[in-house]
Structure 1
Amino acid sequence: MTAVMTASIQGYCDPEFAAVREVFEANFRERGERGAAVAVFRDGVQRVDLWGGWADKAQTRPWAQDTIVCMMSVGKGMAALCLWMLADRGVLDMDRPVAHYWPEFAGGGKAAITVRTLITGKAGLLFADSAPDGAGLDWEAMIHAYEQQVPEWEPGTDHGYHSFSAGYLLGELVRRIDGRRLERFFDEEVAQPFGVDYGYGTRGAPDTRVADIIPNPDSHTFVQTRDRTTKLGRAWKQRPPSDDPYNDAAYREGVMPSSNGHGNARSVAKVYAALACGGTLDGVRLVSPPTIDAMRNQSWFGTCAMTDRVFRYGHGFFLNEPNMSPMGSNPGSFGHPGAGGALGFADPENRISFGYSPSFMCAGGGLGERCAALSAAVYA
């Protein structure tokens, strides 16, 4: 692949992880990287913090230390984390019906669906058919539609990635139990205590600090979500219409927790660093070690009813799987990818965490060769 013009790579890389820097540089030379950041923590200490390339499509604005970018579905993992924090505190029981906390959810024959069935992608709530097209930024309209939605299958009998719906469903559960909206809960309970620059939407950041997403016409997700004849197109028809959806001002400023979490590799890797180190980092506790094991307990490994791809899935998180979600050498690693190649994961056995935040979406339906090469290099 022809190399693009690149700004210099900056940051720090511990010699122990020199292979990560080598791969990061090679991604620009050989794999079409436009702008990105990568970070690695080990034992709760940051060992890699690199960034480089360009933050805009025109390649006039260098990627800076504080550049943030849309990391797509990485935000679903953060939403799942918030729900698990409530479970860890004893105010949420995974095996109670969702309707116990959210009574209106029982509509459409959903009264028996438990929180566990929902968070494992077995509820069959892939779509919000009654919501108006383009209503994705109207939280109440979306929640009302999911309350009415009839599951695609008998809950618990099949499994599928809740590509568009998970952020709303998990987020509304957080609100019903805690009283705070998901974005506020995450900011006050995770982002501020850890001092990380990640959250839903750009949170008032100036455009000069936000990198442009560069769609890839060979991305399965990008193509299928724009095609109403596909399952992903049916699920994503509530995304606000735009010729440039990921860079649209309303999309950047609003809250669509399945897809518009903005941040950078360093911030995501730090959150996962806590999960790699027993749930506590720098004196701030997220969850307990038993809860971490529950989060990464495999719920299914097989063909996803939404995407027809093979996933290995835990409880709100993807599990390490070489083809679709490569997270190093430990089968016990877990985290969440984002369409286009973004990724955050934790490896509790090796006390390692990883974050990658690119601007140019990868081809295909997985994380792409750039992310896979970086993930492997962590363990080189």
Structure 2
Amino acid sequence: MDTPISGHCDPRYASVRDAFEGNFLERGEVGAAVCVMVRGEAVVDLVGGWADEARTQLWRRDTLVNFYSVGKAIVALLALQLVDDGSVGLDDPIASVWPEFAAGGKQRATIREALCHRAGVPAIRERLTDDDLWDWQRMADALAATDPWFEPGSRHIYHTNTYGHLVGEIVRRVTGELPGARLRRLTEPLAADVHWGLTSDQQARCADVIWAPSAPLGAIDPFTIEGDAHLPMLGYFNPPGYSSNGVVNTAEWRAAQVPSTNGHGTAVGLARLYGAIIEPHRLLSPALLAEATRVQSEGPCPVLGEDVAFGLGFVPTSGRRPLGTNSRSFGHFGTGGALGFGDPDAGVSFGYVMNHVIPRWQSTRNRTLIDAVYAAL
């Protein structure tokens, strides 16, 4: 079956279209979209393939799809804006705006530490259900009550799923708004189609996530797992659907707000958002953006199983996962290879989303697209 591809591509960036087509022909892509903006101009805006595994629904320009951890940088952006406007300080204790978070010895954990995975709560200790997952207050309360897994500030451990509730509750305590509502305030003026907590109309535009392999993992009880794997498994599977296992593509999952994991959007939406981030003073001050995108914590991470470096929500470019050729590039990958990033030096903002999920961040698909962009610049 021929893969339908549509959209706009400036002739100077024909190599990106070739790479996008190659992802379908050679690298197993099912449905996807890519958008590249250079100094505010969309030079690539392509969609292709299918929004469902049966390949009956075309991927359209307004198709939304779950982009997983790409959302971590977005919820961090909401918190960083509160730093910029003076509502909070990076080194203020989390408990200064969320008093319940002080439980268990976390009273000195700071907003900076929350943003760079050093706050001590990469998993929730209390056994939770998926009904709890749909309840923001229930999740925030359980996270606040969790005794820290390590002394906050002493190291980092990737907060796989708790990151969204941790940073999102800081935002809610300061603004009175859940992250989804706060995000709408930011994205509507940008016409950036990026969301948490989808309406029924938005859900009708969603592509189905297709896991590779397609067989579900089945029920996993992290409380029965001992040793070094206990903490990571709790982070992934408490509540059972925290990583989307067993609930992805359901109305409940799409309507919920799980900012580290269930953001939905388009490639154009991500590119527009990062284009606004790299534009001085539009969403963040240059000084705070520089602070947020420099390495704040680096070293081994038992969840990711490798040495990693974190900024404040954003992940700086690195030799292992380069975001182009310039040293100030930053962004965030999501499971399966979804990606949003910005390059202030080249003026590039980039969005890529897809529905065929390979369980890794960097993939041959996004790598090929990034390389093609920078070859064309």
* TM > 0.5: yes
2:232 aligned residue: 232
| Aligned equivalents of 1:152, 1:274: Cα separation in 2 | 36
Give the drift of 1:337.
1.1
**TM-score, normalisation: structure 1:** 0.91
Give the drift of 1:304.
1.5
| 1:313 counterpart (301, 310, 316) | 310
| 1:182 counterpart (174, 179, 200) | 179
The 10-residue stretch of structure 1 (167-176 or 228-237) with the greater mean CA deviation from structure 2: 228-237
1:8 aligned residue: 4
8 Å CA contact retained: 1:77, 1:317: yes
8 Å CA contact retained: 1:102, 1:173: yes
| Aligned equivalents of 1:47, 1:29: Cα separation in 2 | 23
1:132 aligned residue: 128
2:106 aligned residue: 110
The 3-state SS of whatever aligns with 1:205 is helix
2:155 aligned residue: 158
1:348 aligned residue: 344
| Aligned equivalents of 2:69, 2:104: Cα separation in 1 | 27
Q: Deviations over 1:7-30 (max 9, x none)?
A: 311001112222111100000000
1:379 aligned residue: 374
User: Counterpart amino acid of 2:279?
Assistant: C
Give the drift of 1:79.
0.3
| Aligned equivalents of 1:349, 1:225: Cα separation in 2 | 46
User: Counterpart amino acid of 1:161?
Assistant: Y
| 1:366 counterpart (354, 361, 364) | 361
| Aligned equivalents of 1:345, 1:81: Cα separation in 2 | 13
* CA RMSD, Structure 1 to Structure 2 (Å): 2.1
1:46 aligned residue: 42
8 Å CA contact retained: 1:275, 1:348: no
8 Å CA contact retained: 2:334, 2:361: no
| 2:323 counterpart (323, 327, 348) | 327
Give the drift of 1:206.
5.2
| Aligned equivalents of 2:346, 2:129: Cα separation in 1 | 45
The 3-state SS of whatever aligns with 2:200 is coil
1:59-98 aligned at under 5 Å gives the runs 59-98=55-94
2:13 aligned residue: 17
| Aligned equivalents of 2:17, 2:220: Cα separation in 1 | 35
The 10-residue stretch of structure 1 (366-375 or 28-37) with the greater mean CA deviation from structure 2: 366-375
Q: Deviations over 1:267-305 (max 9, x none)?
A: 01110011222242xxxxx11111110110211233223
8 Å CA contact retained: 1:337, 1:343: yes
Q: Deviations over 1:219-267 (max 9, x none)?
A: 9xx9699573344321132144987422122101111111111111100
User: In structure 2, do the counterparts of structure 1 residues 225 and 81 end up closer, same or farther at CA, with 3 Å as the change threshold?
Assistant: farther
Aligned residue pairs, count? 366
Identity over aligned residues, as a percent?
37
The 3-state SS of whatever aligns with 1:336 is strand
User: Counterpart amino acid of 1:44?
Assistant: G
| Aligned equivalents of 1:245, 1:208: Cα separation in 2 | 17
